[in-house]
Structure 1
Amino acid sequence: MDLVTRADIDLLAEPEGGDSQVSLFMPTHRFGRGVEADRLAWKNLVDGVEAALVGRLRRPDIEALLAPARRLHADDMAWQYMSDGLAMFLRPGWERTFRVPASLPALATVGDHLVLGPMLRMLSGDEHFLLLALSQRETRLMEGSRNTVEEVRLDEVPTSLAEAVEPQEPRSDAMARPAANAGRGGPAVFYGHGAGDDHHKSVEIERFLRSVSTGLRDVLVGQTSPMVLVGLDQVVATYREVNRYPHLVEDVVERNPDQLAPETLHELAWPLIEQRLRAQRSRVIERFHELHGTGRVSADLQTIAQAAAEGRVETLFVQADPWCWEGVEDTTLPVVQLGADDRYADCELVDAAAIATLNTSGQVYATSQSVVPDSEVAAIFRY
């Protein structure tokens, strides 16, 4: 699974010249017969994009642009490790691919910019959260939604005490015990006896957790999703002291996570997240209605899009069930040529407003809860 960060969104939202930018989205299966059906659906989607590009680009340029999508189709192993949704973004000489734990619409767009709407819910949806399972043996970061959590790969973040702490020189009264990952060739950690050694171990644990927090700061840059901690009391308390992520949930799952499967972690964490998100969303919606008649709120898409472009949107609500782009209907393939089909002009405006709001440090709520009846969007303005 690939964690989508604000840095990714910023990169995807960069204005680039040319009219040969492609966004592809598709729901996927994790296992079973649906996997092969997904591969065929991906091939058909890419073929549809190729047909849409004829007349825009020369044949060699089309083949070069779509080469990453064709390689993915041919990669047997990749299709065995999908999540619930797949997204790929293509520019000449550049591509980004994300497997995400949320279903995405079957959709492709071709035009002078990338479409991000279906991905924004991974940053701003009212069901998206992070889970940090803390232990000395194995620390895991997970990204979750209402239905699941999935582990995020951490390449530069220490995930065990043995990784973060240099082995100590053995003393005469000390004995070596295998480290948490000793079975994988990890170093031994030496423990002695007495209060001095207990203090030393506490210092090591704090150093380890500080390294985790520092490493996650880079991984989570731009994230605003709530994070719930899972772990034993002492480890969780120490982590809170060194934490650098500003969106920790106050409630904690006080369990040793080492033997807990992702399904169990989700079952324990989701009620805490759901309660918090529902209360937070309700407060913001209530504020929207309190400001009615002051000129500080609007449910008109054109007005909101203009205000977002000017950096005036403090909070943007976007209807997400379904998201605008998920209403795409086509008799053959859901391939949209941007700027050329009036049916999707509003979707492009919603997308632009959401990106502009995020880029000016506003908050976007992709919510299934209606704020204003019969309106795709609603916004609170800064002024």
Structure 2
Amino acid sequence: MTNQEIQEKLKSLSNQSAYPSVSILLPLENERTPTFVAPEHKLKVLVQETYQRLSNIEDEQALQTIRQKLDNIAENIKFDNGDKSMGIFVSPDHEEVIKLPFSVESNVFIGDNFQIRDLVQVRNQLNEYLVLMISEKKVLALRGSGPSLSVIQVPEMPASMAEQEVPGAALDTNEIEDAIDTSVEPDAPSPKGQADEDANSNQSSIQGVSYDEKQRPYLTKIDQALGKYLTQESLRVVLVGVDKKISHFLKFSKNENKVIGTVNGNYDYAPPQTISELVWPVVQNKMQEEKENLLSELQESVGRNLYVSGIDAVWKAAFEGRVRTLLIEENYQVRGLILDEGYSLSLDVPDTYNGPGRIAEDAVDDLIELVMSKAGNVVFVENGKLGDHQQLAAITRY
């Protein structure tokens, strides 16, 4: 499942509201270590914990519906080796099982809404992107989710300069090593890449023009295939190759605005793990840069009166649909009381309170759902980054 598909699932879950809403987060171990616990047993334990916590519910019909749904899921669920974790969401009116490409902490949540905070937070850390390796010998596309890479087929993408009229062969994850031919001793990879001797040369020279014209059909065909793929998949791109090849590609490319960074060097024969170790820091730096830009935008929004801080004030803005981007410190949680048919939030909630309204044990999670239900974005930042904004702030639409 891609991050885009997870995003759509999360938006759907955020629109659900019924009591009891059960959220079970199940981490999966793929390696049989000495402490290995079978996922079937883990799920059984979490389901039993759920039943114990639901035992005081007075609505017998709702309880019976939940039990039937969970029993059916536990009996029929299939575990795949590629899944890192799983989210199970069940209420009287809804049920959903989401297989996740990232790890989560084992937990059970019961409330009026599904608990999606952890999924949103981890998803934000695993931006998807495309790695495109270009050389005369081969073109290879890999899709990344966090530090993990898998070889993909991009339709109409030439496999090499010699075969530019032939689409690249389909490859699956198990054939990565075959795709990156290791049968020939590699040239020593150079992180800095091959010096681009022609970058600053006089392009009117015979050699320069000849090289450009020779490369143009090959690089243009790569760029056209890339452009078509990116119209279907909203991904940013990291380019891998020697300086000369990358600079010539960017010279002809119509997709330069999608490129977030490059890794320079000859890595035709490098294993996927090496490529990942080179590319993932580039993506992380870009993600950090975007967060810093967002924090700067937050400061600018204060002067433009497009800003709200503090969870109680942000809650009202979110209810009115004014929140464009919600920024939250990673570990910020707070108990709250939702009042006035959902319009306001009070943080002064006695432990023995039994009056009007609804108690939210983690009001931040409820706020995330509220913002997402009204097409807002949610971004987590490091603890301490929002110290001047009561640990939570929003850039508003108006």
Give the unaligned 5+ runs of structure 2.
Answer: 180-208, 335-355
Residues in 1 aligned to 2:32 and 2:124: alpha-carbon distance in whole angstroms? 31
Quote the residue 1:310 is aligned against.
Answer: 320
**How far off its partner does 1:117 sit?**
1.6
Q: Could you tell me the percent identity over the aligned residues?
A: 17
Give the superposed CA RMSD: 4.5
Native 8 Å contact 2:321 2:371 kept in 1: no
Q: TM-score, normalised by structure 2?
A: 0.63
Against the structure 1 CA distance between its residues 247 and 67, is the aligned structure 2 distance closer, same or farther, given a 3 Å change threshold?
farther
Residues in 2 aligned to 1:51 and 1:152: alpha-carbon distance in whole angstroms? 41
One-letter amino acid of the counterpart of residue 158, structure 1: P
Can you list the C-alpha shifts for 1:245-294, whole angstroms capped at 9, x where unaligned?
Answer: 96531x30124555333432232124433443334333432443455577
Give the unaligned 5+ runs of structure 1.
Answer: 169-177, 187-194, 326-338
Quote the residue 1:124 is aligned against.
Answer: 124
Quote the residue 2:76 is aligned against.
Answer: 71
Native 8 Å contact 2:329 2:383 kept in 1: yes
**How far off its partner does 1:124 sit?**
3.4
One-letter amino acid of the counterpart of residue 40, structure 1: H
Residues in 1 aligned to 2:169 and 2:366: alpha-carbon distance in whole angstroms? 54
Quote the residue 2:83 is aligned against.
Answer: 82
Q: Secondary structure at the match of 1:82?
A: coil
Residues in 2 aligned to 1:150 and 1:113: alpha-carbon distance in whole angstroms? 32
1:381 aligns with 2:382: no
- Find the structure with the greater CA-based Rg: 2
Quote the residue 1:44 is aligned against.
Answer: 45
**How far off its partner does 1:21 sit?**
5.1
Native 8 Å contact 2:21 2:90 kept in 1: yes
Residues in 1 aligned to 2:130 and 2:70: alpha-carbon distance in whole angstroms? 36
Match for residue 158 of structure 2 among 146, 149, 161: 161
Q: Which has the higher contact order (CA 8 A, sep 6+)?
A: 1
Native 8 Å contact 1:140 1:159 kept in 2: no
Against the structure 1 CA distance between its residues 17 and 124, is the aligned structure 2 distance closer, same or farther, given a 3 Å change threshold?
closer
Residues in 1 aligned to 2:246 and 2:284: alpha-carbon distance in whole angstroms? 24
Against the structure 1 CA distance between its residues 160 and 316, is the aligned structure 2 distance closer, same or farther, given a 3 Å change threshold?
same
Residues in 1 aligned to 2:297 and 2:366: alpha-carbon distance in whole angstroms? 24
**How far off its partner does 1:120 sit?**
1.7
Against the structure 1 CA distance between its residues 160 and 260, is the aligned structure 2 distance closer, same or farther, given a 3 Å change threshold?
farther
Native 8 Å contact 1:66 1:90 kept in 2: no
Match for residue 259 of structure 2 among 234, 248, 267: 248
Native 8 Å contact 1:65 1:90 kept in 2: yes
Residues in 2 aligned to 1:243 and 1:98: alpha-carbon distance in whole angstroms? 35
Q: Secondary structure at the match of 1:161?
A: coil
Native 8 Å contact 1:134 1:235 kept in 2: no
Against the structure 1 CA distance between its residues 254 and 297, is the aligned structure 2 distance closer, same or farther, given a 3 Å change threshold?
same
Against the structure 1 CA distance between its residues 62 and 214, is the aligned structure 2 distance closer, same or farther, given a 3 Å change threshold?
farther
Native 8 Å contact 1:157 1:216 kept in 2: no
